[in-house]
């Protein structure tokens, strides 16, 4: 145990975490040349393309330092606020963290919130100043920022470059010298923390864990404390680039476990593994059942594909336990599913994975957060509102509560004004403003989560010219004035276009929705009135003018074939649209509300 080091990496998106991790693997000989590919840890296509880590990963390196063999377990954490619970569990599995800061961009909001998490868990922080080879690097100033933030000595900051490999040796030395070895009791009953799981279609769910006390051995009868289920450890091992089966994983070390579990929902991140016969008396602290934050309907483009969509969603859920869904139906879209996501990125990922891995094209409806509604009849009973149609009639409604978050935004001093205006527009209340340096300001707001769902990230980027970073954590429910804005096309309500909106914004958003739909819905052979309404009250109206001309002048012998093919193509395009009454609605119109400011 003395020669094990467990560490994670804290970094903002694009600060070079994955590239630097590749360098560490490379330098310690953990990958052969043949296995090398850029960003080894991000092995989902989506992760490589977007340059962010979605899943946690773990990899073990062996490294000889001053004549002694060390085992270094790197636990890579997801790089997005949607996955902050997973980050917290990865951090809990480590004794130290590399804090990677881009020498040009300095510290960002997300880095800070993860850093605080690491500090709360008493992790030893090793600051690394990355990308110092960039012409735009500003090492002195950013080092000062880091020193301010950590209260460390400037000499402790290691200059590095993932690109050139500079500093890698110093980082490895610091990991060994500064990060404490794990302290576990090998003779106590097994107590291991699950920090991630991966679905393998052939072997079932692979559980990644860190042994805190005791040890886990092949064949052992084990139990997961939170779920109460017991299994036999068919295989345990360590995580090199490939899995290496072992007979036993000792206290302090990191490994994987295979038990033949087929459903990812049985393996909960943060759960404790213990021995079935001789269990530990204590579960590891910090376990939470992850709750979805954002809900949206997902429907097949072709109504006939409903069963196929169900199969695909079930398969996705096998390897992404944070996805929840239940069947729902819509007059406009037919049969589909109400799905719960960790956040907007998670929603996008699910949508993309459905398309890429399952070849399903889907319509996603306007997302909303989960509200609590109370009726006059039963003012103490919570009605969960995950869908606009769940909101009780205004006359019977006693009150509504909505989820709030604590938002942390770090930006340049120049942009404090526009960022504040944006947050106030989004119903935020400022709670704190701290100058981290003379140039960099941290702003804290209490804000409704619902406001983050609608175009917040994009607008924050715009108003700050890209110089703002953002993170949030939930702070509970607060009372709200909520209304349902319905959209009527040709005087018919289109249920899939309804949205839950704060009463103060209903008029503005209703108007913008009508305008946006006028752009997105193609002109048809008749005028189409678009109306936004709250209950029976129309709050906005637009009209899509009828097509005037939809015919080509000439149709002679040589034109017929080409023209037929063109009209067939049009017909096919229409088949992908949804018909409500006699109005054809293209797919993207159902997500229109998200892009009201484009």
Partner 1 sequence: MLIALKKELELRAMELKDETIETIYFGGGTPSILETEEIESLIDLVYENFEVRSTPEITVEANPDDLSSEVLKALASSKVNRLSIGIQSFFENDLKLMNRAHNALEAKECIEESKRFFNNISIDLIYGIPGASNEQWQENIQIALDYEVPHISCYALTVEPKTALESFIKKGLVEPVNDDGAHEQFLLLKDILEERGFVHYELSNFGMEGYFSKNNTAYWQGKSYLGIGPSAHSFNGQQRSWNVRNNSKYIKALEQDQLPSEIETLTKVDRYNEYVMTRLRTKWGISLNYIKKEFGELYLQYLMDQAHSFIEGHLLFHDKDQLYVSKKGLFLSDGIASQLFKLNL
Residue 139 or 522: the one with the smaller Cβ distance to partner 1 is 522
- Encode burial over 209-244: b for 16+ CB neighbours within 10 A, e otherwise: bbbbbbbbbbebebbbbeeeeebebebbbbbebebe
CB 353 within 8 A of CB 339: no
The neighbour count for residue 508, using CB atoms within 10 Å, is 14
Distance of alpha carbon 574 from alpha carbon 361, whole angstroms? 15
Q: What are the beta bridge partners of residue 244?
A: 238
Residue 244 or 546: the one with the smaller Cβ distance to partner 1 is 546
Q: What is the β-pairing status of strands 191-200 and 272-275?
A: antiparallel
Residue 101 or 583: the one with the smaller Cβ distance to partner 1 is 583
Among 169, 564, 576, 597, binds partner 1 (CB under 8 A): 564
Residue 151 or 558: the one with the smaller Cβ distance to partner 1 is 558
Distance of alpha carbon 212 from alpha carbon 85, whole angstroms? 19
Distance of alpha carbon 235 from alpha carbon 87, whole angstroms? 26
574 interacts with partner 1 by CB under 8 A:
yes
Among 549, 585, 586, 591, binds partner 1 (CB under 8 A): 549
Among 200, 479, 550, 576, binds partner 1 (CB under 8 A): 550
Measured in residues, the chain has a length of 598
Q: How far is the CB of 492 from partner 1 (least distance, A)?
A: 14
CB 325 within 8 A of CB 313: yes
Among 120, 560, 576, 597, binds partner 1 (CB under 8 A): 560
Residue 563 or 595: the one with the smaller Cβ distance to partner 1 is 563
575 interacts with partner 1 by CB under 8 A:
yes
Residue 491 or 536: the one with the smaller Cβ distance to partner 1 is 491
Nearest to 294 by CA among 359, 335, 214, 349: 349
377 interacts with partner 1 by CB under 8 A:
no
| Span 508-547, contacts to partner 1 by CB under 8 A | 525-526, 547
Q: Which stretch binds partner 1 (CB under 8 A): 153-161, 207-215, 286-294, 560-568?
A: 560-568
Which tokens in the block code for residue 31? Answer: 């990958």
| Span 8-47, contacts to partner 1 by CB under 8 A | none
CB 506 within 8 A of CB 485: yes
- Encode burial over 172-186: b for 16+ CB neighbours within 10 A, e otherwise: bebbbeebeebebee
576 interacts with partner 1 by CB under 8 A:
no
Among 563, 588, 595, 596, binds partner 1 (CB under 8 A): 563
Q: How far is the CB of 361 from partner 1 (least distance, A)?
A: 17
Among 438, 536, 571, 598, binds partner 1 (CB under 8 A): 571
Q: How far is the CB of 444 from partner 1 (least distance, A)?
A: 51
To 5 degrees, how large is the angle CA 95–CA 101–CA 103?
150
Binding residues (CB under 8 A) for partner 1: these are: 525-526, 547-558, 560-561, 563-564, 567-568, 570-572, 574-575, 582
């Amino acid at each position: 145990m003395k020669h094990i080091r467990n560490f994670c990496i804290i970094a903002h998106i694009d600060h070079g975490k994955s590239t630097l991790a590749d360098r560490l693997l490379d330098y310690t000989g953990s990958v052969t040349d043949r296995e090398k590919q850029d960003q080894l840890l991000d092995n989902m296509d989506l992760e490589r393309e977007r340059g962010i880590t979605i899943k946690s990963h773990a990899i073990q390196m062996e490294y000889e330092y001053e004549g002694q063999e060390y085992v270094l377990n790197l636990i890579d954490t997801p790089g997005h606020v949607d996955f902050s619970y997973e980050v917290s569990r990865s951090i809990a599995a480590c004794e130290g963290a590399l804090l990677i800061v881009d020498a040009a961009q300095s510290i960002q909001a997300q880095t800070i919130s993860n850093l605080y998490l690491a500090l709360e868990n008493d992790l030893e922080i090793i600051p690394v100043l990355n990308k110092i080879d960039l012409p735009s690097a500003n090492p002195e100033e950013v080092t000062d920022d880091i020193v301010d933030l950590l209260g460390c000595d400037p000499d402790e900051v290691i200059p590095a470059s993932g690109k050139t490999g500079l500093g890698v040796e110093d980082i490895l030395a610091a990991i060994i010298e500064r990060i404490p070895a794990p302290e576990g009791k090998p003779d106590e009953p097994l107590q291991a923390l699950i920090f991630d799981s991966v679905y393998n279609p052939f072997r079932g769910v692979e559980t990644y864990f860190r042994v805190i006390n005791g040890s886990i051995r092949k064949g052992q009868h084990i139990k997961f404390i939170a779920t109460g289920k017991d299994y036999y450890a068919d295989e345990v091992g360590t995580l090199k680039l490939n899995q290496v089966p072992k007979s036993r994983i000792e206290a302090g070390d990191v490994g994987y476990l295979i038990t033949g579990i087929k459903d990812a929902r049985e393996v909960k991140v943060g759960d404790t593994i213990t021995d079935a016969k001789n269990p530990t008396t204590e579960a590891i602290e910090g376990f939470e059942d992850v709750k979805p934050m954002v809900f949206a309907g997902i429907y097949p483009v072709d109504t006939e594909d409903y069963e196929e969509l169900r199969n695909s969603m079930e398969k996705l859920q096998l390897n992404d336990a944070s996805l929840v869904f239940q069947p729902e139906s819509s007059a406009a879209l037919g049969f589909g599913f109400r799905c719960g996501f960790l956040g907007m990125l998670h929603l996008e990922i699910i949508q993309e994975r459905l398309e890429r891995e399952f070849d399903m094209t889907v319509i996603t409806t306007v997302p909303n957060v989960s509200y609590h509604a109370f009726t006059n009849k039963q003012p103490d009973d919570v009605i969960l509102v995950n869908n606009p149609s769940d909101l009780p009639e205004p006359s019977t409604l006693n009150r509504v509560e909505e989820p709030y978050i604590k938002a942390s935004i770090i930006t340049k001093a120049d942009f404090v004004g526009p960022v504040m205006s944006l947050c106030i527009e989004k119903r935020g209340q400022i709670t704190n403003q701290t100058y981290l340096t003379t140039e960099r300001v941290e702003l804290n707001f209490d804000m409704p989560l619902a406001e983050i769902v609608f175009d917040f990230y994009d607008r924050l980027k715009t108003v700050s010219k890209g110089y703002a970073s953002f993170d949030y954590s939930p702070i509970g429910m607060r009372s709200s004035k909520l209304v349902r804005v319905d959209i009527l096309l040709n005087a018919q309500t289109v249920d899939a276009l309804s949205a839950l909106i704060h009463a103060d914004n209903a008029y503005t958003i209703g108007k913008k929705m009508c305008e946006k739909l006028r752009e997105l819905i193609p002109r048809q052979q008749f005028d189409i009135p678009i109306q936004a309404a709250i209950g029976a009250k129309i709050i906005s109206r637009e009209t899509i003018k009828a097509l005037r001309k939809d015919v080509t002048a000439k149709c002679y012998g040589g034109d017929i074939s080409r023209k037929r093919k063109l009209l067939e193509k049009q017909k096919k395009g229409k088949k992908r649209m949804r018909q409500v009454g006699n109005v054809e609605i293209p797919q993207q119109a159902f997500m229109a509300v998200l892009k009201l400011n484009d």
